Amino acid sequence: MWLFWLFEFLGFVAVLLLIYAYCRFVDRGFWSFVWKYLKWVGLAIAIVWILIIVLCRHHLYSATHCYFRGVSMHTNTKYSIYLSECQIETRSGSYVPIDRARALPGAKDQDSDNNSDHDNHSDNDDEGSDQILSE
């Protein structure tokens, strides 16, 4: 969520900087312009904030969904924008994907080695493991 609020703050600063640049260009006072057109300045800031909300709506929904999953499980969760997944805090303090930690069906498991290793071995795995241990 901090990234969303950073975007909101940067949008606010961008609007103020554009107004300041306009005032410098036409040789007007910044504060007198803002007070004279306060309604329009507020509307411009609101439009930029709404635009940022619309652009971030998927991540906002996912973060809210992740938060309520954590509340229902009585644990700490966070949504990673970079990984696009909900993560749950383990006892050691690290965060792991909640779908894999809870072994939910349809989890995004990126580990394809487990499936390929099982398919490549013969049905009689005990003989191969005895040979490795005896060497």
> pLDDT by residue (tens digit) across 3-41?
788 889 999 999 999 999 999 999 999 999 999 999 999
pLDDT of residue 133: 46
Phi, psi angles (nearest 5°) of residue 91: -65, -30
pLDDT of residue 27: 92
pLDDT at 108 over 80: no
> pLDDT by residue (tens digit) across 37-75?
999 999 999 999 999 999 989 888 988 999 998 898 888
C-alpha distance from residue 51 to each of 56, 95, 121 (Å)? 9, 31, 54
Task: Tell me if 117 sits within 8 A of 134, measured CB to CB.
Answer: no
pTM of this structure: 0.59
Domain range list for the chain? 2-55, 58-101
The Cβ of residue 108 has, within 10 Å, a number of other Cβ atoms equal to 10
Retrieve residue 133's tokens.
Answer: 């241990």
pLDDT of residue 25: 94
Task: Tell me if 49 sits within 8 A of 11, measured CB to CB.
Answer: yes
d(CA 14, CA 21): 10
